[in-house]
Amino acid sequence: MRNAALTLGIIAGIVGMFIGFFTWGYTDLIERFGEVDDLFEQVDNVQLVRAGGLLSPLLAIAGGAMARSRALWGGILLILSAGGMYAAFGFNVFTMFPISFAALGGVLALAAGKPDEPKSHF
């Protein structure tokens, strides 16, 4: 389960990076050149979209990388990443895979049978 969480976290982070690059560029483009009525409009909360575009893929990659050695911490980071992507971008055709992969990786990391330490996670 830890290897699956690692793989899902890395994939979610890489796909999330592409979404983050696009959304950061889109918000900057609209900020610099202005809106085009009924075609290109600025998002409601630019700072949330930019923070989600930067931090959520970072948390997914870090959580995936930690999933083998520290499953509890990795799982928490993956679930935070999925929540951050959902809050910043919503659930749509472009975000359904990174959100789902990060959430599933987080659940798998938390459900890993062998605890990190002699005591259980909870």
What is Dmax (Cα atoms) for the chain? 60
Q: Which residues of 23-60 are buried (b: 16+ CB within 10 A; e: fewer)?
A: bbebbeebeeeeeeeeeeeeeeebeebbebbbbbbbbb
The domain segmentation of the chain, as residue ranges, is: 2-110
User: 7-56 pLDDT, tens per residue?
Assistant: 999 999 999 999 999 999 999 999 999 888 888 899 999 999 999 999 99
Higher-pLDDT residue of 97 and 122 is 97
Instruction: Name the token pair of 103.
Output: 């959430």
Portion of the chain with pLDDT greater than 90, in percent: 79
pTM strictly above 0.85 = yes
Across the chain, what does the average pLDDT equal? 91
